[in-house]
């Protein structure tokens, strides 16, 4: 019988169960066989719970997804919205399910559709990732997840807050970040999708 998942709370990274065995690392195999009603991400083999998103988070996520989906309608890249698993460091053997980092970005764009060929998850780094920040996820999204996205080779990573958008472009293996105030006139081009611009007018005006 498989070991039960021991979850970390995504707010403070403390284990929710005091008897957690710190030596136990979970894999994509555990993630793939989980109860689908329970959402969590795996980072370096540790399971982090995912709290239900709030209203502003869902509104902004939907707005960004809609704009990208409209722009990509006649193009080869594909956009997905959470929950959809991303195996950032998949083994070369497609039958190997022992990798230990599986995340669920709020929005992701994949241009190499071979990474989607198993129909279950993205195997490898997406080209573009957006995380919409809430208080409970801020530390993880700006910290360990940002580092793992960089290490995996995610070419562009945006973090969207109510007051600012942090745009990270991968240059020479490191993220080069620019910060943009969230206001109704903000428009940002997606660097990996030349010609694609995200308009924040409705998002900036939506103070929920």
pLDDT range class, residue 17, cuts 50, 70, 90: very low
pTM comes to 0.88
Lowest-confidence region among 20-29, 79-88, 156-165: 20-29
Q: Does position 147 have pLDDT exceeding 60, yes or no?
A: yes
Determine the pLDDT at residue 22: 55
Burial 112-121 (b: 16+ CB within 10 A, else e): beebbeeeeb
Using pLDDT thresholds of 50, 70 and 90, give the confidence band for residue 190.
Answer: very high
Q: Which two tokens stand for residue 151?
A: 């290490």
d(CA 1, CA 101): 22
Task: Tell me what percent of the residues of the chain surpass a pLDDT of 90.
Answer: 78
pLDDT digits over 29-46, tens only? 999 998 877 889 999 999
pLDDT grade for 151, boundaries at 50, 70 and 90: very high
pLDDT tens readout for residues 78-129: 999 999 999 999 999 999 999 999 999 999 999 999 999 999 999 999 999 9
Nearest to 50 by CA among 102, 95, 93: 102
- Give me the torsion for CA of 121, 102, 5, 44, rounded to 10°: 160
Mean pLDDT of 179-186: 95
Residue 19: is its pLDDT beyond 70?
A: no
Which pLDDT belongs to residue 149?
98
What does each C-alpha distance from 204 to 9, 105, 148 come to in angstroms?
29, 21, 28
Set out the domains of the chain in order of their start, with CATH numbers: 55-204 (3.90.1570.10)
> How distant, in Å, are the alpha carbons of 46, 49, 56, 74 from that of 87?
14, 17, 27, 26
DSSP 6: P
pLDDT band of 1, cuts 50, 70, 90 = very low
* pLDDT value for 12: 39
CA distance 9 to 49: 5
Residue 136 is predicted with a pLDDT of 84
């Amino acid at each position: 019988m498989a070991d039960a998942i021991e979850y970390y709370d995504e707010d403070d990274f403390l284990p929710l169960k005091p008897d957690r065995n710190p030596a136990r690392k979970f894999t994509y195999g555990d993630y793939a066989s989980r109860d689908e009603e329970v959402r969590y991400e795996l980072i370096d083999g540790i399971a982090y719970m995912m709290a239900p998103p709030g209203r502003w988070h869902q509104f902004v996520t939907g707005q960004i997804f809609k704009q990208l989906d409209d722009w990509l309608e006649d193009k080869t890249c594909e956009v997905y919205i959470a929950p959809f698993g991303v195996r950032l460091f998949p083994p070369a053997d497609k039958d190997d399910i022992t990798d230990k980092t599986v995340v669920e970005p709020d929005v992701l764009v994949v241009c190499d559709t071979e990474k989607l060929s198993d129909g279950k998850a993205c195997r490898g780094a997406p080209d573009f990732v957006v995380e919409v920040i809430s208080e409970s996820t801020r530390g993880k999204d700006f910290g360990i997840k940002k580092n793992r996205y960089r290490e995996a080779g995610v070419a562009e990573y945006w973090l969207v807050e109510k007051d600012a958008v942090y745009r990270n472009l991968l240059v020479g293996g490191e993220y080069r970040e620019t910060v943009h105030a969230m206001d109704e006139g903000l428009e940002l081009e997606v660097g990996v999708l030349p010609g694609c611009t995200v308009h924040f007018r409705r998002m900036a005006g939506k103070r929920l």
